[in-house]
Amino acid sequence: MELARVALTAAFALALATAADAASKIEPIVSPGGLKAWLVREPAVPMVAMEYAFRGGADADPVDKPGVANMVAALLDEGAGELSARVFQERLEERAIQMTFSAGRDQFRGSLLTLDDNLDQATEMLRLALTAPRFDAEPVERIRSQVVAGLRRATTSPTDIANQRWWAEAFPDHPYGRPDSGTLTSVPQVTIDDLRAYVRQVLARGTLTIAIVGDIDAERAGRLIDRVFGELPAKAALPTIPPATMQGLGKRVLIDLDVPQTVIDFGGPGLARHDPDFFTAYVVNHILGAGTHTSRLYREVRQVRGLAYSMRTSLIWLEHAAVMVGGTATRGDRAKETLTVIEQEIKRLAEDGPTQDELDEAKSYLRGAYAIAFDTSSKIAGQLVQIQLDNLGIDYPERRGAMIDAVTLADAKRVAESLLDKGLLVTVVGRMQGFNKTN
């Protein structure tokens, strides 16, 4: 056991050094057209990875048509400019160009990964996808059919039902309460004009965040981003999104569904990314449920009682709200017991706080594990985009370890109480043995 601990510590130290080395190479650049980006030069790897994000994701969907952003993300590489969907996809495949798009709650994101030899072709294809998407009828209907099929499957999935209902109860009458992929009512109503309007209104230079990693210098990187993004509108036309206060604390939503396992989702308010206590909450959450095998919930729910295979909690910070969420799945006849254990452990941590050993182990893990986020060019680029979105500063990867080290036991006990004593919103989907309207 001691040998394994030493080996793990050494591996973390090496990985952390790798992350710090990558962080030390971050170079802020400004293109000839005035676009800003962060660059990490990696001449030893003959590839270029670019990650980028526009403000405005699913929260920019029309109120009556959730799912537009999700459909746009699925369609941008289905033909652009003079290239049909088939030709566009064939050219990506021929040149081994990886291009992805996704719509989250607050941002519309994209990525590009290509060999350096194919960078010019990849750049041009991405430019076309962002500035001249075709939205031809055939691919639109094909993607619509795929989305609708997924939504139909979700109506019988306890995991999807629990998750969607939790967010709907937590943020009623707010974009965060709407399903990102849309609904069986809204998706069939999305028109090609809706897709084009979303692109015009959301994909704009003024809300763009970019990171590039690879065998490329600042001059060439500047030309690249001007070529890809330079033709986009200067300003976005985003809807005004109000701040969101989580609702439903203390509420249990029970949904009877005849499935093999009952799914339990739970959560409460979290902390904003710039809250002075965020890192303390991050450590506390690791101790509670994010530490997998070392967390209290994993130990008590799985190891001690064998109630579930997995058990995890997370802090989620959005532009207009922050939450702590968790979930698990168990047999229907043991769901009530599982929820009782979860609530008891959260209450115990809120009242007593963590032990010094728990705090030390969590801090050690969180310092070292961060390096895993820097083990590929694409991951590094993704991290740099997120750091910029969170406005943490270019030296954040170097400062992060000291910020974790600064968390004291007194801090952890204080934040555990304030974070975990507000009650939970719970959704339970599956067989309802042991539950009734009063419990």
Q: Are residues 47 and 192 in the same domain?
A: yes
Q: Which two tokens stand for residue 211?
A: 């990171």
Q: How many of the other CB atoms lie within 10 Å of CB of 226?
A: 16
Classify 83 as helix, strand or coil: strand
Q: Are residues 364 and 420 in the same domain?
A: yes
The per-residue pLDDT for range 38-50, each reduced to its tens digit, is 999 999 889 999 9
Residue type, 376: T
Q: Are residues 287 and 222 in the same domain?
A: no
Q: Are residues 163 and 260 in the same domain?
A: no
- The predicted pLDDT at position 6 comes to 35
Q: Are residues 40 and 163 in the same domain?
A: yes
Q: What is the CATH number of the domain that holds 276?
A: 3.30.830.10
Q: How many of the other CB atoms lie within 10 Å of CB of 184?
A: 13
Report the pLDDT averaged over residues 145-163.
97
The reply to whether 223 falls in a domain is yes
The reply to whether 110 falls in a domain is yes
Q: Check whether 3 has a pLDDT greater than 80.
A: no
Q: Are residues 216 and 276 in the same domain?
A: no
Q: Check whether 12 has a pLDDT greater than 60.
A: no
Burial per residue of 91-117, b for 16 or more beta-carbon CB atoms within 10 angstroms, e otherwise: bbeeeebebebbbbbbbbbbbbbbbbe
Q: Check whether 7 has a pLDDT greater than 50.
A: no
Q: Are residues 27 and 143 in the same domain?
A: yes
Report the pLDDT averaged over residues 189-198.
98
Dist. CA 302–CA 326, nearest whole Å: 15
The reply to whether 437 falls in a domain is no
The average confidence (pLDDT) of the chain is: 93
- The predicted pLDDT at position 435 comes to 83
Q: Which domain holds residue 412?
A: 252-430
Q: Are residues 179 and 300 in the same domain?
A: no
Q: What single DSSP character describes residue 115?
A: E
- The predicted pLDDT at position 137 comes to 97
Q: Check whether 235 has a pLDDT greater than 80.
A: yes
Which strand (E) or helix (H) includes residue 308?
strand 308-317
pTM: 0.91
Q: Check whether 21 has a pLDDT greater than 70.
A: no
Report the pLDDT averaged over residues 164-191.
97
Q: Which of 196, 229, 262 represents a domain boundary (last residue)?
A: 229
The per-residue pLDDT for range 294-318, each reduced to its tens digit, is 899 999 999 999 999 999 999 999 9
| Contact predicate 332/431, CB 8 Å | yes
Report the pLDDT averaged over residues 218-226.
97
Classify 400 as helix, strand or coil: helix
Q: Which two tokens stand for residue 79?
A: 């033909």
Q: Are residues 224 and 258 in the same domain?
A: no
Q: Check whether 214 has a pLDDT greater than 50.
A: yes
Q: Are residues 179 and 269 in the same domain?
A: no
Q: Check whether 293 has a pLDDT greater than 90.
A: no
Residue 23's pLDDT band, with cuts at 50, 70 and 90, is low
The per-residue pLDDT for range 337-385, each reduced to its tens digit, is 999 999 999 999 999 999 999 999 999 999 999 998 898 999 999 999 9
In percent, the amount of the chain with pLDDT more than 90 equals 89
The reply to whether 235 falls in a domain is no
Residue 1's pLDDT band, with cuts at 50, 70 and 90, is very low
Q: Check whether 11 has a pLDDT greater than 70.
A: no
Q: Are residues 225 and 269 in the same domain?
A: no
* Ranges 23-27, 340-344, 348-352, 417-421: which has the least confidence: 23-27
The reply to whether 242 falls in a domain is no
Residue 15's pLDDT band, with cuts at 50, 70 and 90, is very low
- The predicted pLDDT at position 8 comes to 33
Total number of domains in the chain: 2
The reply to whether 392 falls in a domain is yes
Residue 246's pLDDT band, with cuts at 50, 70 and 90, is very high
In percent, the amount of the chain with pLDDT more than 70 equals 94
The reply to whether 321 falls in a domain is yes
Q: Are residues 389 and 260 in the same domain?
A: yes
